[in-house]
Structures are given as C-alpha cells and as structure tokens.
Amino acid sequence: MPKLSFQTDLRADGPIYYCSQTCREPALRGATVPCSICGTSFAPSLAVHVSEDEQGRHFYCSPECRRVAQPVAPTKKAPKARAIAVLNQKGGTAKTTTAVCVAAGLARLGHPTLLLDLDPQGNVGASLGITSPRSAYHLLERGVSAQACAHRERENLDIITADEGLAAAEIALARSNGRDRTHRLKDRLSSLEGYSYVVLDCAPALSVLNHNALVYAGEVLIPVSCDYLALVGVKQVLRTLRRIGELTGKPVRIAGVVPTFYDVRNRASTEALGYLRKTFGARTFPPVRVNTKLAEAPSHKKTVYEHAPDSHGARDYIRVVEWLRTGEGAASQTKAA
C-alpha cells in the first residue's frame, strides 16, 4: 500500500510503484554511503535517507542529520502595535471624540485596534454604551491582562474602559517609587499581541497616568480646538513632552496636531489654524469642522461613522485617520521645543 511520496512515480505510460527506497534505486541495494552531515557510513533504505537539490544528491544517516541540513525557518515575530496617546492638558478640545473616531476609523479600515481609556471620567465607555466588569483599574492595579480587560464591541475594535476606580490606581502609582511609577503601563502591555494600533485616551491633566501613557506610546496626537486658549494649552503639552523625553532619554514623537471645532466663518478659527500650520507644518492635520452629528453620536451610543456616515464630522475624521496611516513611520523625531 503506497503511503510515502517516493513509492509512486507518475510517468506518461502510467504510475510505477516501489515498496522501498532500495527497490526504487537498485544501485543503492546493499551499498553503503557516507552521511553528508556526520560522515557515518550506512546503507540507505528509507526516503528520509536521501534528498536531491540543485547541488546534487545528499545522504542522511538519521532524521537528526537531515534536520541539521534543513533547519526549520524561525517563526517571524508579529510586528509591534503602533501606540498613539491622544493628549491635551486643556479640556474641551474634543480629545475623547478624537480618540474614539481615530480608533473606530482604523478598525473600519481593517486594522485590529485597541482603544484604552485612561481618563477616570470614563467617557469612552459612556460614549459607546459599554459597561465592563474589568477596566483600566484592573489592568494597572490588579495585574489583570489587557486581553482579559478588553471588551470586543465592534469588528476589529477592542476597548478597555475606565471608571472612577482609575483614580485610586493613579494614587497608588503616585505613591510608588522607581521605575514602576512611570513604566507600569508599559510593563502591563509588554506582552500585548494581535493589534496593529493601540489608541490611548488621556485625561486633560498633568498626571502620572499621562506620564505612563507617553512612556508606553512614545507618540502623541494632539487635538486642539481653534481658539486662543487652546493654543496656550499646546505650549504646555510641548513642555510636558520635552520633560518626559529628557527623563526617559527618548524623545516623544508628535504624530500630528488635529484642529477641532473649526469654523471657516469664524476669524478666530482661521487664525488659530494658520498658527498651527506655521508652528507644526506638515504635522498639522486637516481640520475637523464644527458638526452637530459629532455631538449627537454619543447620546445614541454610536460612533459618528455609525450615526451619520455622510456627515462632515465622519468625513473629516476619516481624513485624519488616512493622514495618520500614511504618515506611519514618518512621525517627527524632533524633540518638542
């Protein structure tokens, strides 16, 4: 009964069968040959003993010698997820809206994405109608894995929610010493696999949680509302990024600046956009226009793409996502000044 590939030889006049390697190659019957790996003389009798390639015929006295000649190719390690912290120390800049729209937009484009809420207010979960028994508090304070804390809400989109318990985790972090104080989040997410992107929604504050987020992400997306006070807030963010870069020895990259609440009819908006473009150049993303659909979507527990896919808000944020994707790997390496 033919069971091995060498036992059948398909020819034009029909198949020919062999019960053994020696019957297929009579010249080998009773002959001994040296092993091509260890040099041991032996009489080949099995298919595993012989191989052919462009360099000729090779003999192997054992499966171990054959494995030495044909090592198993190492498994390629999955590429590390691109982690982006959405941060502005000033409130009211559409930070959570930007984090949700960017994460949902990446997921809609087929990229497995994790959205992690690091704001004790828990606006990500409230915006999407998500309640979960495990949150960012359990990740940071209880040591529960990110996979166990993540809630699969949409295709390609997992979410780790936050609640007031995260404030307790922040207090514990502030009281800790050494590396754990600033690197706990990075350590907790070090074994994270299966995602192309990790988006972190940071609280509008100078906090140890935000420090952890920036140490892990190393890349920041800054939403800026088009008004004067928001521009002042940008300078504070840049100082924070510079300090963290000095502490860690690794500059925090600016993935981009997203102008929000842009109104072309408002002079303050056009002046603010001009200032951002002058300051950040190509890192200034297309502006997100004032749009009621963006404000309505959370009340329906939906993303803007689900609530109003043809709205200005949905189209503007998809442009932001496209700019973020095409700029991948090309984020500025320059220290924030």
Pick the more confident residue, 76 or 37.
Answer: 37
Q: What is the CATH number of the domain that holds 265?
A: 3.40.50.300
Do 269 and 305 share a structural domain? Answer: yes
Is 76 domain-assigned? no
**pLDDT > 90? residue 10:** no
Q: What is the pLDDT of residues 102-138, one digit of tens each?
A: 999 999 999 999 999 999 999 999 999 998 889 999 9
Which residues, other chains included, contact 312 with Cβ-Cβ below 8 Å and sequence gap of 6+? 289, 291, 293
Q: How many domains does the chain have?
A: 2
Q: d(Cα 311, Cα 294) in Å, to the nearest integer?
A: 9
CB 198 within 8 A of CB 81: yes
Do 89 and 37 share a structural domain? Answer: no
Do 204 and 232 share a structural domain? Answer: yes
Which of these, 199, 191, 215, lies nearest to 112 by C-alpha position? 199
Is 75 domain-assigned? no
Pick the more confident residue, 2 or 224.
Answer: 224
Do 257 and 123 share a structural domain? Answer: yes
Domain end: 69, 100, 125, which one?
A: 69
Q: Poorest-confidence range of 6-10, 117-121, 217-221, 308-312?
A: 6-10
Residue 20 is predicted with a pLDDT of 73
- Residue 145, amino acid: S
Residue 335 is predicted with a pLDDT of 38
Q: What is the pLDDT of residues 88-99, one digit of tens each?
A: 888 889 999 999
Is 336 domain-assigned? no
Residue 328 is predicted with a pLDDT of 44
- Residue 224, amino acid: V
Is 256 domain-assigned? yes
Do 314 and 234 share a structural domain? Answer: yes
CB 169 within 8 A of CB 142: no
**pLDDT > 70? residue 61:** yes
Do 89 and 57 share a structural domain? Answer: no
Is 244 domain-assigned? yes
Position 51 confidence tier, pLDDT thresholds 50, 70, 90: confident
CB 88 within 8 A of CB 303: no
Do 155 and 21 share a structural domain? Answer: no
Is 334 domain-assigned? no
Residue 38 is predicted with a pLDDT of 86
Q: What is the pLDDT of residues 185-197, one digit of tens each?
A: 999 999 899 999 9
Do 87 and 31 share a structural domain? Answer: no
Is 125 domain-assigned? yes
Q: Which domain holds residue 34?
A: 5-69
Residue 245 is predicted with a pLDDT of 81
Is 188 domain-assigned? yes
**pLDDT > 50? residue 337:** no
**pLDDT > 70? residue 36:** yes
Residue 54 is predicted with a pLDDT of 66
Pick the more confident residue, 146 or 69.
Answer: 146
Do 176 and 100 share a structural domain? Answer: yes
Q: What average pLDDT does the chain have?
A: 86
**pLDDT > 60? residue 324:** yes
**pLDDT > 90? residue 79:** no
Q: d(Cα 302, Cα 126) in Å, to the nearest integer?
A: 10
Do 43 and 182 share a structural domain? Answer: no
Do 193 and 129 share a structural domain? Answer: yes
Which residues, other chains included, contact 233 with Cβ-Cβ below 8 Å and sequence gap of 6+? 88, 89, 90, 93, 224
**pLDDT > 50? residue 333:** no
Domain end: 42, 69, 96, which one?
A: 69
- Pairing between β-strand 197-202 and β-strand 113-118 as defined by DSSP bridges: parallel
Domain end: 43, 69, 95, which one?
A: 69
Residue 223 is predicted with a pLDDT of 94
Do 148 and 125 share a structural domain? Answer: yes
